[in-house]
Chain A
Amino acid sequence: QVQLQESGPGLVKPSGTLSLTCTVSGGSVRDYYWSWIRQPPGQGLEWIGHIYGSGSPSYNPSLKSRVTISGDTSKKQVSLEMTSVTAADAAVYFCARHLRFYESGWSYAFDLWGQGTMVAVS
C-alpha cells in the first residue's frame, strides 16, 4: 500500500526558506507525477507545482519565482523549497500523486495524498 508522508520544520522565519520532503513508502517516485498543494488556515487549496519522477517541474505562475520542486527516485522523495517566505505562506502543505486517465482527452486527478504538514512563519 503506497503512502505519502510530508516532513520538515514546522516553523520558518520571515524571509527564510521553507524546505519540505515527501517520502513515498510502498511505491516508486519514478513513472508518476507528484504535486505539492497548500492550504492556509481557513482558506482553500492552492496548487504549488508538480514534477514527473526526477524530471522537469512545472509551477503555479503565482509562486514560480520562489519555488523549486525536485525528485530523488533513489530516496523515493519529492522535495519542495520556497524562498523569501512571509506570513502568507503559513499553511498546511500536502504532497499528492497524480492519477492519469483518459476522459475525452488525457486528464489527471490527485489519487493519493499525504496527511499534510503545518508550517508556521514567525
Chain B
Amino acid sequence: DFQMTQSPSSLSASVGERVTITCRASQSVTRFLNWYQHRPGEAPKLLISGASTLQTGVPSRFSGSGSGTEFTLTISGLQREDFAVYYCQQTHASPPTFGQGTKVEVK
C-alpha cells in the first residue's frame, strides 16, 4: 500500500495565522491527492481534489499544491471554524490510503 505521512501531527495556531500542512507519499501519486477537513461530530468534508482544485463552496483561504511525493495544504488566515483535523488521501493506487491526520488547535 502507498503510505501517506503528514506533518506535523498537530499544531497550535491563532486566528489570522497562516498554516501549512505537509503530506508525503511513499511513492509518486502524481497529482492524485485529496485533502479533507474533519470537525468532531461532523461528516468529513472534501476541501481539495487533484492536489490543487478547490471544491465549490470552500473558502479561498484554503489552497493545495504539489505533485509526485510531496504536497502541501495552506490555510491563509486561519478562522475559528478551521480548527479541525485535516487528512490527505491518495487515489493513485488501490487501496486508497489516508495520512494519519493533522490536528489544528487554538493557540
Contacts and interface: CB of A to CB of B under 8 A. Distances in A.
B69 interface: no
A103 B85 CA distance: 26
Interface stretch (A8-16, A24-32, A81-89, A105-113): A105-113
A94 B44 contact: yes
Interface residues on B, range: 20 to 34
B49 interface: yes
Interface residues of A, number: 27
A106 B14 CA distance: 38
Interface stretch (B17-25, B26-34, B70-78): B26-34
Which label, helix, strand, loop or mixed, suits the secondary structure of the B interface? loop
Which label, helix, strand, loop or mixed, suits the secondary structure of the A interface? strand
Nearest to A64: B95
Interface of B: 30-32, 34, 36, 41-46, 49-51, 53, 55, 87, 89, 91-92, 94-101
16 contacts: A44-B99, A44-B100, A44-B101, A94-B43, A101-B53, A103-B50, A104-B30, A107-B50, A108-B91, A109-B46, A109-B49, A109-B89, A111-B46, A113-B43, A113-B44, A114-B43
Interface of A: 4, 43-47, 58, 60-62, 94, 96, 99, 101, 103-105, 107-116
